[in-house]
Structures are given as structure tokens and as C-alpha cells.
Amino acid sequence: MTGPSRPSSATDINFTFDGKRYSARRGDTLAAALLANGIGLVGRSFKYHRPRGIMTAGVEEPSALVTVGEGGRTEPNTRATDVFVYDGLVANSQNRWPSLSLDFGAIFGLAAPLFSAGFYYKTFFGSAKRWMFYEHFIRKAAGLGNAPTESDPDRFSQRAAFCDVLVVGAGPSGLAAAVDAAEAGQRVILVEQDEILGASLIRDPQELYSVWVQNCAERIRAAGGRILTRTTASGYWEHDLVTLTQRLAEPGQVPHNGVAQRLWHVRAGQVLLATGSIERPVAFPNNDRPGVMLSQAVRTYVRRYGVCPGQRVVIATNNDDAYLTAHALQEAGAQIVAILEARPAPAGQGQNLPVFNNAHPLSTKGARHCLKNVSGSVDGVTKSWDADLLAVSGGFTPVVHLHCQAGGTLEWNDAAQAFVPAQSRQNVKTIGGAAAPAPVFNATPVAPAKKSFVDFQNDVTLADVDLAWAEGYRSVEHLKRYTTLGMATDQGKTSNMGALARLAEKQGVAIPEAGLTTFRPPYTPVTMGLFAGAGAKDAGAHKRRLALYDVHAAKNPIWQPLGYWFRPRAYPMAGETLADAAMREARSVRTSAGLTDVSTLAKFEVSGPDAVALLETICATTVGKLAVGRGRYTFMLREDGFVFDDGTVWRIDENRYLLTSSTGGADRMATHLSYVRNYLHPSWHVSVVNVQEHYAGIAIAGPKAKSAVAKLIGEEPPRHMSTISAKIAGVSVLVLAASYSGERAFEIYVDARNAEPVWTHCETAVIAEGGCLYGLEAMEFLRIEKGHLVVGGEIDGRTTPQDLALDKMLNKAGGFIGASGLGRSALSEPGRRQLVGLEAIEGSIPEGSMLVTADGKSPEGHVTASAFRIMEGGSIALAHLADGFDRHGEELIATSPTRGQRARVRVIAPHFYDSAGERYRD
């Protein structure tokens, strides 16, 4: 093919394709620019590596896929018809080796008869490993472009919008509808995937469209409407929510302000789909050769871009529209050598044109990847013409994707041989060409099946459709999946109709009875980064910041993630490892005092006359008998009777309680409380306030804790499980005496906004007693030694109060959530896993390891947490063990095959330290 001459202009820009430099005009798509430069061979097909050119002028392009951009901006599989050239654009062909014109992969094409539909299902037997051997090569041959290996340097933004009318498509009907709605006072958004407005009008003689289109745009804007170009309505979701994808930069282009694309969530009062239709190719042998193009696309290149893709042209059509293309080509100086008209009778537009009625194309020939010759059948007689362009039109497929995504149904329009929108479930209406496509003659393929491509990208031919049928893959979905029809990046925009017509013919039914596959979002492929938006940086997971974050950060601790929080795990001194630091901190708690931040604990203030009723519904323990100023340990059950959280409950005042529970379960507990209060017992007089982040919490623990706290508050500290209000550094605090570590300990709660001075005072006091700060790791050592439970560890959602030896604390009166679940038989059957302690006889006990009676036996339990005795040394652990309560004294193996670790252990009671609880009582 020779390049048509286009006068160069002052605004010419440069791009490269496969390393060679070319010039383009601003406003060109890459496809237009390639054609203008005489480049007809653009890519290779997926399966047979057949040479492919440019077939369309729009987003439906199945063939001309290239990789655009460099580095982290590389976009593989970009349709050359859907990227506007910018200065410096870098494009490369894909799926070829060593080069586009000489591609060794084309041997797949020679072996095409072997690679029929279903090929892979019928061979490569043997073990899975053997398949993997073949698969390695198959995978390498498959895929199209290469993905970037770098991170994306650009950002993607997201935006929400509302409107009364969303118009999709800025062709004549979309523009007119948008003008009407906007001037009627409606809030209008008009979106157009193209860079300019006008859609089908752009194929008309230029003078005609530009004035009217400009005028419409001005009127819409004047009436307050918004017009978004380069914006695709790609998904239609529930209740008229439409997602728009807006390109702010072209593929591979450096965006102006760092934002490459924007995702809109638009909630519309009404949606008008003026999405037009997509021209269908015609199925006949070798219809995929570069130089075979859709008729409207040819017209678009001629009129819009001033590029005439051929000089000697054959046109094949079953409808009137292609004659407009003939005229456009003639105006551009091309010669129409033949029009193969499927309809038997002469059509009016054919005057002065070489029209052959009752004719259809039969094959093409080429040389050096260019079209040279077209043969066709005229009244059953084969004729042939030398030509460098074949423009085909097999009719028009309305773009009903969004209508269908919205749950709408379709009906068959026989005159147009097309499915058109029927009922819609949402507030959506289809207007213009998408609702009423032009009449055509017949959509059913008539040419021989071999090498008659219906899906150009995935190399599916009519022969494949026939084979699938013969092998019993007869539902349209089976056909699609067996042949991969319509599953390529174009999602069958050009292919489905031809195959469907063939299927209907095979079934001996009308096309509508053959069925249709589902239209799924997105309408055109959407960049993943756009969906992720800002979330790509942090996986969409927010972080919560401790009120005392700055205080900790200044000490440079090791941080530990805990749900959304990050908490100090240990405060190592120079040269200390995590384990060293944690052990030093834990010893400090055992021997003098330690200070730690417990702010993340879930905290709820429950008040009102029905506070006890609420608490006794939530907690499985009694609450009612608690005196003012006293607190106690409690735990909560799920409705099915399993323990799901634990904490403490404090009676602050006559009718005011503070409930604490685990950090990790905080949100869940908040919902649970809200459910009981608002849904189950709306009439109760009780209020529940989530004060988790209102209060910062500071714990002081150790034998010297009492004297430290006494100095801090200037009065006698509360007794164990008692609470008082006090002041530290002039700030009001609530002091609870509760011990998690096993030592005398206090939790000091303070308004988070005033926490810093209180912490500073506490720190000074603890250090004055010879103590230090401690983090989560030391806390873990302390609680394990003491045999306290942790949610997510010992409380794993599968344990009952009995399993954890908590059953003696159950509220005998019942009435709490989970009480009825507890009554089920399996919750008290033998063989349940019960909480035990372990001490190592040999080795140290790996956390999470399995408990077996001998190597090779199936596990009877597992280690939930392990630590070392803080003062004496020696490996200890908490564990779940089948019938564990009755197995104290037994020797087992704690084994971790994945880590190559094991220990011999003895089962003991799960309290390793001060089991009488003397240390925390005065």
C-alpha cells in the first residue's frame, strides 16, 4: 500500500512506531497517522500470528493493538484507533518475534488446521507436571503485549457527581437530547469517548457538521450543562449509577498535573443512551488481511483525517450506508473498482458506480502484507479485482451494552438484523441509531467457513463455530467459551453477530432464538490504576494514629500493626534486639514498674436506668451486683455460644458503666452493642457511647506501680478492681486498678486531647521508681506467663467458655446473648480442645506449632502463644489441646515442620506465675 499524500501542516508532531520516526497531525489517532504514513501492517493476531492491520476507526478495533508509552506508563494492547497522537508518542507492535513483518509465530498459522477450536482440551495428557511443561510455552506464546515492570508514576483520581440527565454519546441524537434537557433546566452531563463531539456526523462532509455541533455544545454549556470528552460511560450499575472513565492524558502521555485519568461515579435521574451502532465485518475467507476495513471506518479516515487508505477500492455491503463511503472515496480521488452488493435488486445510490448485485466477497490475496486482489461471487460466478482496499459493511450492531448492564432486555429487529433495546429496568432510554439501526439485507454468513474470521483478535473462524456445534457446544455460551469467541480485549464488539447468525443457522432457528451472551462491564477496557485510585498506595486501608503517637515516635520504638493501629512493640536501647528489649521491659514490670500505652482498647460508656440490663445481655457474666467504684473481668459470646471477646466492666456511677474489650474486636463490639440497644431493645432507657478514641489509656504495672500512682494522684490508689477519679498534672483522669500483667497495675484514662502531659508525668514517676516503658511484646510475655487470654489467640472464635475454663463465671440467670447456643450438644462433647499450659522439657516451644503424641501422628492441639518465663527463664506456652483439662502431666511434642523446630513439652495448668493472685492485691 502506498501512502496517500496529505499536505503537511505547521502543527505536525512526531511519533515512533517500532523505533522508526513518523510525523502526524494534531488530532490524528495513531491509526490515522499510521495509515497516513502508509503503514498497513500493525499487529499480529493472538493465536495464529496472522498479520493484521487497521480495521475500524473506533473503540471496537479488534486488530490494530499496539503497546504505547514507556517505563511505568507503558500501556500494552492499546487500540491504535483509540489513542490520539501527541508529540513524542512511542508505539510498538506486539506479539511478534523477531519483527512485525517476519514473525516466527506465524507457523501457528500454518498449523491452523491442527489448532482448531478445543485443541487444548484434546491433548497434552499425562500428569499435571507434564501439562505444566507444555503450558510454559503456551503461556509464552499467548498474551499480547508486555506489562510494565515499573510502578506507575501517575495518579488516578476519583470523583462523584449527580445530574438529572446523563447523555451518553455526542452524536446528533445525543447532542440534541442534551440541548433539550439543559435548556429545560435539567442538570445535564454529556459524555463522549472521542476527543471531539459529533460522532457519526464527523463522517459527513465537514462543513455540514461542525457548525451545528459547535452550536449545540455552546447551548448546552450556556444552560449550565457539563460536557466531558474523552470520557467513556463504562459501567451501568444499580439504581442509575454510571461509572465514567475520563482520560486526562493519552496512553503513555505525561499528564499535565500528574493525573492520568479520572473515574466518575455519577448518579443520574435519567440516562439517555445515544451510543449509536458498530459496523459489522463480513465473514469470508481471508477477510482479516490488512487492507480489509469497515466501510464507515474508511469514510472516517477520508473525511475526518484526510487520509485515504486505498486507491483502488472494492466495497462489499448489504446496506445503503456503504454508498456514502463510495462517494467519499471518489471525492478523495480513489477509484471504486467494484461494489459487491448482497441485495439482489439494484439500489438507487449505485448510479455511476460499478455495482454487482447478488454478490459477496469470497477471498482476498495479498503481497507483503498488503491487499492485492479481491475475489467475489456475483450471481454464483466468481470474479476478481485488483484492489488495495476492501471496505466491508455487514450491517450495524447497536451499542446496547449499557442498556443491558442496567438489566434491560433486547428484542430482535428483523429489518436491521439486529438486537435493539426493549424493556429497561432502570431509568434509562436508548435513543438515535442505537434504538433504530439502519435496515440491512441479511446478517447470515454465506461464504466458505475456513479462514472466515468472525473474531479477529482471538482468531475464531466460521469453521470453529461449525466445529463447536458438531461437538455439542451448542448454547451460545458454550460456543463462546469453547472457541473463545468474543473474549478478547474487544469483547466481541465486531464479532458476535456473525457467529450468532451462524449458530442460529445451525440450530435451524431464527437468530433471536439462538440467545445472546451477557453484556458485562466495562464497555471498553479500563485501566486498573483508575479503579484503585488513591487506594493503590495503601491498599485502601486507613491507618489510625495513637493520641500519644508523637511521644512514642520520639523514642523510636519498633512498631507493630494491630488492625488499623500501629503500636509500639518494644523500645529497644542501643544494640538491643527486639527479644532483648522485650525481656528487659518485662523484667522491669516484674521487679519495679513499667509504663505502656493501652489507648487502642475498645471502650464504651453505658449509662441510664437500663444500663445493667444491656450489659447483662452483652456480657456472659453478672454485672448487676457490682458496687459503685468496682469492676470485674467479663467476656461476651456470639449468639451461637462461642466466646468472641473479653474485657472489663466498671461501675463508675449509680447508672454509669465503662465497658472495655479487645482492640481488634472494637468495631465489631460497637456494632454488637448498637444492635442490642437499637434493634433488639429500642425501648430501654440506656445510652451507649463509643469512647475508644475519646480516652487515651496509660497502664502502669509492677510492684512499684502503686507507689508511682500514689505520687501521681496524691492520694491512696484504688484497690485491685476498683476505680476512682483523680487528677494528674491538673488533668482529670479515671484510674482503674486492673492487672493484665499479673502485677499490681493501674489503667489511667484521660481525655485524648490532654493525654500528653499526663503521660509525661507518668513516665517520670515510673522511671523514678526504677521502671521503664514497655511495648506489646513484653505485654505478651507477661500475659502468657499469667495465663490471660487474647482474642485471636486463645479466643479464636471456636472456643466455648468451658473450653477456656471460664464457665464458672457464667451468669447463672442466663438471659445473655449466646446462652441458648451454649446448650447445644457438641459444645460439651468429649474431645473438645481445651486451654492448657505447656512447659518445655527440651527445646523451646514454637508459636503456632502442633501438639502430637508422637511424630507422624495427627495433631491433637496447637500452641496459641509461647514465651519464656520472665524471671526464671524456660520456654512456656498456652495451647488448645483435645480433652486438655484431663491431661495435665502428660508429655507431648510441639512440632513445627514448616520451620524445622520442635520441643518436648509437658502439659500443665495455664498459669505459670502467681496462680494465687497475691501480687496484685494489697
| Residues 420-479 contacting another protein, CB under 8 A | 425, 463, 467, 470-475, 477-478
If binding is defined by CB under 8 A, does position 144 make contact with another protein? yes
d(CA 353, CA 326): 8
- Based on CB atoms, which residue is closest to another protein, 364 or 491? 491
- Based on CB atoms, which residue is closest to another protein, 157 or 373? 157
- Based on CB atoms, which residue is closest to another protein, 21 or 542? 542
Using CB under 8 A, which of 345, 625, 730, 858 touches another protein?
Answer: 858
**Nearest residue to 143 (alpha-carbon basis) of 94, 72, 198:** 94
Piece of 75-83, 731-739, 744-752, 765-773 that binds another protein (CB under 8 A): 75-83
Binding positions for another protein, 673-692, rule CB under 8 A: 674-675, 677-680, 682-684
Using CB under 8 A, which of 19, 98, 126, 348 touches another protein?
Answer: 126
Q: How many CB atoms lie within 10 A of CB 413?
A: 17
CB of 129 to another protein, least distance (A): 7
Piece of 215-223, 299-307, 432-440, 481-489 that binds another protein (CB under 8 A): 481-489
If binding is defined by CB under 8 A, does position 917 make contact with another protein? no
Collect all residues with Cβ–Cβ distance below 8 Å to 900 and sequence separation of at least 6.
Answer: none
- Based on CB atoms, which residue is closest to another protein, 66 or 339? 66
Using CB under 8 A, which of 9, 101, 142, 579 touches another protein?
Answer: 142
- Based on CB atoms, which residue is closest to another protein, 298 or 790? 790
CB of 830 to another protein, least distance (A): 13
Q: Write a three-state SS string for 176-202.
A: HHHHHHHHCCCCEEEEECCCCCCHHHH
For the chain, report the end-to-end CA distance as a whole number of angstroms: 99
Using CB under 8 A, which of 540, 624, 757, 770 touches another protein?
Answer: 540
Using CB under 8 A, which of 113, 575, 730, 873 touches another protein?
Answer: 113
Binding positions for another protein, 498-537, rule CB under 8 A: 518, 520-522, 525-529, 531-533, 535-537
- Based on CB atoms, which residue is closest to another protein, 753 or 857? 857
If binding is defined by CB under 8 A, does position 642 make contact with another protein? yes
Using CB under 8 A, which of 7, 10, 21, 122 touches another protein?
Answer: 122
If binding is defined by CB under 8 A, does position 116 make contact with another protein? yes
CB of 663 to another protein, least distance (A): 13
- Based on CB atoms, which residue is closest to another protein, 347 or 487? 487
Binding positions for another protein, 12-51, rule CB under 8 A: 46
Binding positions for another protein, 568-607, rule CB under 8 A: none
d(CA 159, CA 683): 41
Q: At which residue does the C-alpha cell 507507689 appear?
A: 707
d(CA 275, CA 170): 8
- Based on CB atoms, which residue is closest to another protein, 80 or 370? 80
d(CA 289, CA 804): 74
Piece of 8-16, 118-126, 365-373, 599-607 that binds another protein (CB under 8 A): 118-126
Q: 867 forms bridges with which residues in the sheet?
A: 876
d(CA 903, CA 425): 65
Binding positions for another protein, 813-842, rule CB under 8 A: 815, 820-821, 823-827, 829
- Which residue type occupies 837? G
Q: Looking at beta carbons, which pairs linking 524-527 to residues 24 or more positions away fall under 8 Å?
A: 524/59, 524/82, 524/193, 524/232, 524/234, 525/77, 525/489, 526/234, 526/245, 527/75, 527/156, 527/245, 527/260, 527/261
- Based on CB atoms, which residue is closest to another protein, 460 or 738? 460
Using CB under 8 A, which of 9, 99, 143, 813 touches another protein?
Answer: 143
d(CA 410, CA 395): 18
**Cβ–Cβ < 8 Å for 609, 617:** no
CB of 242 to another protein, least distance (A): 10
Write the binding mask 341 to 380 for another protein: x where contact by CB under 8 A, - elsewhere: ----------------------------------------
Piece of 8-16, 51-59, 220-228, 851-859 that binds another protein (CB under 8 A): 851-859
CB of 6 to another protein, least distance (A): 31
Using CB under 8 A, which of 14, 270, 444, 560 touches another protein?
Answer: 560
CB of 529 to another protein, least distance (A): 4
Binding positions for another protein, 891-910, rule CB under 8 A: 895-899
CB of 874 to another protein, least distance (A): 20
**Cβ–Cβ < 8 Å for 48, 112:** yes
What distances in angstroms separate CA 384 from CA 247, 338, 448, 691, one per listed residue?
45, 9, 16, 85
If binding is defined by CB under 8 A, does position 770 make contact with another protein? no
- Based on CB atoms, which residue is closest to another protein, 159 or 857? 857
Which H or E run includes 78?
strand 75-79
d(CA 535, CA 538): 6
If binding is defined by CB under 8 A, does position 408 make contact with another protein? no
Q: For residue 545, give the 3-state DSSP assignment.
A: coil
Using CB under 8 A, which of 584, 668, 727, 904 touches another protein?
Answer: 668
Burial tier of 129 (Cβ tally within 10 Å: 0-12, 13-18, 19+)? exposed
List of E strands, 671-762: 687-690, 695-701, 723-728, 731-736, 745-751
List of E strands, 216-298: 226-229, 231-236, 241-247, 259-273, 277-279, 292-294
Q: At which residue does the C-alpha cell 521502671 appear?
A: 771
What distances in angstroms separate CA 749 from CA 85, 615, 909, one per listed residue?
63, 21, 33
If binding is defined by CB under 8 A, does position 131 make contact with another protein? yes
Using CB under 8 A, which of 221, 226, 265, 343 touches another protein?
Answer: 265
Retrieve residue 332's grid coordinates.
478523495
**Nearest residue to 748 (alpha-carbon basis) of 775, 709, 780:** 709
CB of 346 to another protein, least distance (A): 38
CB of 448 to another protein, least distance (A): 11
